[in-house]
Structure 1
């Protein structure tokens, strides 16, 4: 679901940035308020971004030779709230694009809108509705399944409208060459049949684990009376989950097929020729942005692919940890300044 650069026209990228930016800004403002009230949200943001990053590394095969992956948007919304989840997934997507070349730089607006906005907000709404009707576990499964599929539908739409809005005078597509009749069924099938169930599985298993060992970490839930429970260091349980996902991350390498709409120009050209659609890549794609990431495709120079995959995961987690530490230090300095001002009064 990570749309690469040059698949969307510059106009589409600009529109998606314009649509996503206000939601991210509002989410950041909400999270800032939450951090003032709950200092422990800072490390949870780092943990949440790590969870999403790791879940996206587990590619699974899809019939037809492509692949797909989970995202964890609804799971994070259940754990830390939809606004914080929006920020966590957005940070993970930004890191993936700039450091690992997974998803485009110009396409970040579209990818953030699909995976960091549509998924956590719609998934959490469904979960919360069923939670209020005493079916939280069902809500977690249904919300996560629907959230990722709605995001996939949107990605299919963004890709599929390109031949309609960006083409030459003769009608040849300038960017993604596949029309809506191809992109929407391809994206929806991959996620309805495979990725949606993987997303639901991850969400259900981690949700049930957290509900059992650290119920107070579930956002807005009243699973147990908080006054009757002792303060516990529940973050260690999330560390266990992250370590487990890091160790298992090379499993994602077992899937060789590239996800639909994420091919490089060489792969795309082979498909276009094999399907007798065209003998060349659309002109806009050949003259677009060509960004080379430091650890492209999660590879680390001098290591084999599985080790590079694990090192990439560890690198991302360390970055998220540093970000959370910075947030905590900012909170502490702001809080001290506020206390000092109150004392002077």
Structure 2
């Protein structure tokens, strides 16, 4: 679901960044207020970003020879609130794009809009409607609907590009696939596979870490962070399993792969000129690999690095803010 570099026009990227910026601002304010009530919010933010980061490393094979992954945004919204989830997922996406080349730098605002805004808030809204009478069903449906809402938003952002941005010969400048292709391609995978994976993952983790065993209702903080740490350790150790799925996620191809998919689908193989002359950014650990190390070891070390960065970042940011307040 990560939109790569140059698939969206600079204008689209600017609009999406401007759209999510006020959400980030409110999220920081809301999280600041939450920390005053629950000090454990600070380590929970680090654990939340780590959880989202790690679950996105587990690529799953899906029909069509491509791959996809869960996100965990609705799970985080149920555990610590949608504003904290928005912040946690945004920070995870930022690290992914800067260090690991997963998602475009210019597309960062768009990726945050779909996975850190649409997904947690839509999912949390579903959960609020159902949690009183059917919390487990509510958690599953919240995750299922949330990830599909994010997939639909991604499909629309990609699909409007050839409609809005093309040259005089009507050749697309950026993503060449129109809405009648992007929406079915994205939604079929997420409705039939990833939505269920996201729902099962969300419900399973909630059942494992919920604070109270006296009720079936999942509540906001405080959360059993010790159990959450066990989950993170398990995900780190198992993360190389994400390498087993072959194929690139739909819409996340590099330029050469894109041309090949166009040819395979009997479409014009014109290279979009906006993509050809777009931003070229080479991340330090592209595709979660570390030069000189086996791929599986590099994958594990990337996961460990991310966890340490997240825990340190939130501690420095929010503990200092609260001491100076």
TM-score by length of 1: 0.90
Query: What SS does structure 2 have at the residue aligned with 1:115?
Result: helix
CA drift of 1:117 comes to 0.3
The 1-side partners of 2:55 and 2:139 are apart by 16
1:99 aligns with 2:99: yes
The 5 A counterparts of 1:74-89 are 74-89=74-89
Match of 1:44?
44
Deviations 1:290-327 (A, max 9, x none): 10000000001111111111111011001011113214
Match of 2:319 among 316, 329, 337: 329
The 2-side partners of 1:17 and 1:254 are apart by 34
Unaligned runs of 5+ in 1: 222-231, 336-345
Match of 1:270 among 246, 260, 276: 260
The question of whether the paired residues in 2 share the 8 Å contact of 1:42 and 1:327 is answered with no
CA drift of 1:214 comes to 7.6
The question of whether the paired residues in 2 share the 8 Å contact of 1:39 and 1:328 is answered with no
Report the count of equivalent residues: 324
The question of whether the paired residues in 2 share the 8 Å contact of 1:149 and 1:191 is answered with yes
Match of 2:247 among 235, 253, 257: 257
CA drift of 1:328 comes to 5.3
Deviations 1:40-98 (A, max 9, x none): 10000000000000110111111111111000010000000000000000000000000
CA drift of 1:279 comes to 3.1
Match of 1:248?
238
Assess, with a 3 A threshold, how the Cα gap between structure 1 residues 213 and 324 changes in structure 2: closer, same or farther: farther
The 2-side partners of 1:115 and 1:200 are apart by 15
The question of whether the paired residues in 2 share the 8 Å contact of 1:157 and 1:180 is answered with yes
The question of whether the paired residues in 2 share the 8 Å contact of 1:58 and 1:251 is answered with yes
TM-score by length of 2: 0.95
The 5 A counterparts of 1:139-154 are 139-154=138-153
Match of 2:161?
162
The question of whether the paired residues in 2 share the 8 Å contact of 1:76 and 1:82 is answered with yes
Deviations 1:128-156 (A, max 9, x none): 11012x21111110000000000000100
CA drift of 1:334 comes to 3.3
The question of whether the paired residues in 2 share the 8 Å contact of 1:61 and 1:255 is answered with yes
Unaligned runs of 5+ in 2: none
The 1-side partners of 2:264 and 2:186 are apart by 20
The question of whether the paired residues in 2 share the 8 Å contact of 1:59 and 1:255 is answered with yes
Q: Which moved more, 1:321-330 or 1:184-193?
A: 321-330
Match of 1:340?
none
The 1-side partners of 2:249 and 2:203 are apart by 24
Match of 1:111?
111
Assess, with a 3 A threshold, how the Cα gap between structure 1 residues 326 and 63 changes in structure 2: closer, same or farther: same
The 5 A counterparts of 1:99-248 are 99-132=99-132, 134-211=133-210, 219-220=219-220, 234-248=224-238
The 2-side partners of 1:63 and 1:215 are apart by 41
Q: Which moved more, 1:27-36 or 1:97-106?
A: 27-36
RMSD: 1.9
- When Rg is computed on C-alpha atoms for both structures, the one with the higher figure is 1
The question of whether the paired residues in 1 share the 8 Å contact of 2:58 and 2:69 is answered with yes
Query: What SS does structure 2 have at the residue aligned with 1:67?
Result: strand
The question of whether the paired residues in 2 share the 8 Å contact of 1:214 and 1:234 is answered with no
The 1-side partners of 2:291 and 2:205 are apart by 33
The 1-side partners of 2:212 and 2:242 are apart by 28
Query: What SS does structure 1 have at the residue aligned with 2:60?
Result: strand
